[in-house]
Amino acid sequence: MNRVDFSVASQAGSTLATNKLIKNTYMLLSATLVFSAIMAAVSIAVQPSQTIAMVCLFGGMLIGMFVLPKTANSSAGLGVIFLITGLLGFALGPMLTQYLALPKGPQIVGTAFGGTGIIFLALSGYALTSKRDFSFMGGFLFAGMMVVMLALVANWFLEIPALGLALSAGIILLMSGLILFDTSRMVNGGETNYIHATFSLYLNIFNIFIHLLHILGVMSDD
Amino acid sequence: MEMWLKIIGAVIFGLIIVRMYPVAKHWMEHGPKAEKGDWQAAILPLLAVIGFVILLIAMVRM
């Protein structure tokens, strides 16, 4: 009888921990997205050069790669994740200014923004409610990411527009798969740190927004 | 983008790929295998994303 009680209590504790992780992740994700949007607005207002924007982007990536893993288990991790998302948001400024200058620019940016939100909410909601374990996609997604990153770097030098468009479509699909993967890892106990979970989901949203903006910009008649 | 920025970007992406390689290898070799219906459950929402992006493209072209 005691064993049964212990098993029920343990399961309830695990469910509580999962619910707390999901709540903390979505709260921090909302805060970082708002902060990122504010920094993007600041960047549009001050109009930094493309070089400064790229330095912010690369800086954010390096901090995410080397500093965040060391601080994610402490309160300093919160400051680091706001620093990263602020830098990435600021890096969006020159690109957004360029798109907003197009005749249909505000519509394109608004559609990409709303579209990204709908894709994220629908996929994350699907992974949360279906309770299915999508971790079987891990190998496929990570291998796909590596191939796409190599092709992306190659295209910086080759500058082939059609390849850029195909890569944007591929990245949107990969990031959509990663939203399913990351959300199901939170639900099924594969991820227990809400700062790591927030950073993964933030990067998925950030990449979907940039590449959706690229596709819509190219496909619109402007 | 200026050439030196492209080179720095390529180095950073190279670092990310180097760090990602063992993770990818681990997931490919030891990650859980898909059970019946798993791929279908993943592909359907991804197809919906493709359809949604096509809808967004149609909206901005109107």
Dump pLDDT digits (tens) for B11-57: 999 998 998 888 888 888 888 888 888 999 999 999 999 999 999 99
Q: What is the largest CA-CA distance in chain B?
A: 49
pTM for this structure? Answer: 0.92
Give the mean pLDDT of A31-47: 96
Looking at per-residue pLDDT, the higher value among A153 and A6 belongs to: A153
pLDDT band per the 50, 70, 90 thresholds, residue A177: very high
Residue whose C-alpha is closest to residue A144's, from A122, A173, A165: A173
Q: Which residues of B touch A153 (CB under 8 A)?
A: 9-10, 13-14
Q: Which residues of B touch A50 (CB under 8 A)?
A: 1
With contact defined as beta carbons under 8 Å apart, do A21 and A192 qualify?
yes
The full length of chain A comes to: 222
What is the pLDDT at residue B37?
87
With contact defined as beta carbons under 8 Å apart, do A18 and A189 qualify?
yes
Question: Testing the interface with B: which of A136, A159, A165 to mutate, by most B Cβ within 10 A?
Answer: A136
Please name the residue that has the structure tokens 């991820």: A191
pLDDT band per the 50, 70, 90 thresholds, residue A173: very high
What is the pLDDT at residue A103?
87
Residue whose C-alpha is closest to residue B53's, from A123, A98, A148, A37: A123
E strands along A72-209, which residues? Answer: none
Give the mean pLDDT of A97-122: 94
Please name the residue that has the structure tokens 């959300």: A183
Question: Testing the interface with A: which of B53, B54, B55, B57 to mutate, by most A Cβ within 10 A?
Answer: B53
- Nearest-neighbour CA in chain B from A107: distance (Å): 7
Instruction: Closest CB to B60: pick one of A61, A108, A180.
Output: A108
Question: Testing the interface with A: which of B6, B25, B27, B55 to mutate, by most A Cβ within 10 A?
Answer: B27
Tokens found for residue B25: 């290898």
Dist. CA A169–CA A70, nearest whole Å = 33
Looking at per-residue pLDDT, the higher value among A7 and A185 belongs to: A185
Instruction: Return phi, psi of residue B33, to 5°.
Output: -85, 150
Burial class of residue A92 in the structure, from the number of CB atoms within 10 Å of its CB (0-12 exposed, 13-18 middle, 19+ buried) = buried
Give the number of other Cβ atoms within 10 Å of residue A130's Cβ.
15
Among positive and negative, which fits the CA dihedral A134, A135, A140, A144? positive
- Nearest-neighbour CA in chain A from B45: distance (Å): 7
- Nearest-neighbour CA in chain B from A219: distance (Å): 6
Q: Do B56 and A65 touch (CB under 8 A)?
A: no
Residue whose C-alpha is closest to residue A113's, from A212, A12, A14: A212
Kindly identify which residue of chain B lies nearest to residue A148, measuring between CA atoms.
B17
